[in-house]
Amino acid sequence: MALYKYIRQSWQDDSDAAKALWRERLIAWRREPASLRLERPTRLDRARSVGYRAKPGVLVVRQRVSRGSHWREDWSGGRHSSNSFIRKFLAMNYRQIAEQRANKAFPNCEVLNSYYVTQDGKHYWFEVILVDRAHPSVLADSQLRGVALQRGRAARGLTSAARVARGLRQKGRGAEKVRQKYRPKQWN
């Protein structure tokens, strides 16, 4: 078996030692800031499979996102429409929210991809792979340059997590009501 297959299998480990290790990690991670730049990915196999490469200009950020429903920030005070609700109904998944927040913390970078790391009762943790838009080694790489030149990928729904939320994973028969509706221009 190859190295990454062993790494992948180690994430399935359910022993007491692995549980103790994760307990210690989560205690430490809860004290960290919500967006934290890392030296190297926690899940190397997953990071490599979604496009990470250990080169200058490519960085990894561990992003914490709160679990549960999405609520409006400040509901008290003032009048509001009877149609508005306290709870938000977002058409986004937590991974997409994590990508947008990591991109906001590092505005000179673009989101390449992201992956799930762990969760507890209160939070999700994702690792987001970011590409520095102006780094010479990124601009010299043909694949990374294409990502770096797409401004606002996470905000415009062009990342992998956003494409899942937008229903763009399926094509053809059976996906007629999942994908976005084609709306031709209206001529007046």
Confidence label for 181 from pLDDT (cuts 50, 70 and 90): low
Dihedral sign (CA 181, 185, 187, 188) = positive
Strands 87-88 and 70-71 come out as antiparallel
Task: State how far the Cα of 184 lies from the Cα of 181, in Å rounded to an integer.
Answer: 10
Task: State how far the Cα of 47 lies from the Cα of 41, in Å rounded to an integer.
Answer: 7
Dihedral sign (CA 81, 86, 88, 89) = negative
**What percent of the chain has pLDDT above 90?**
68
CB-count exposure of residue 100 (10 Å: 0-12, 13-18, 19+): buried
Rg (CA), the chain: 20
**Class of CATH domain 29-73+82-165:** alpha beta
In the chain, what are the domain boundaries? 29-73+82-165
Q: What is the pTM of this model?
A: 0.86
Over residues 73-108, the pLDDT tens digits come to 777 777 888 777 888 888 889 999 999 999 999 999
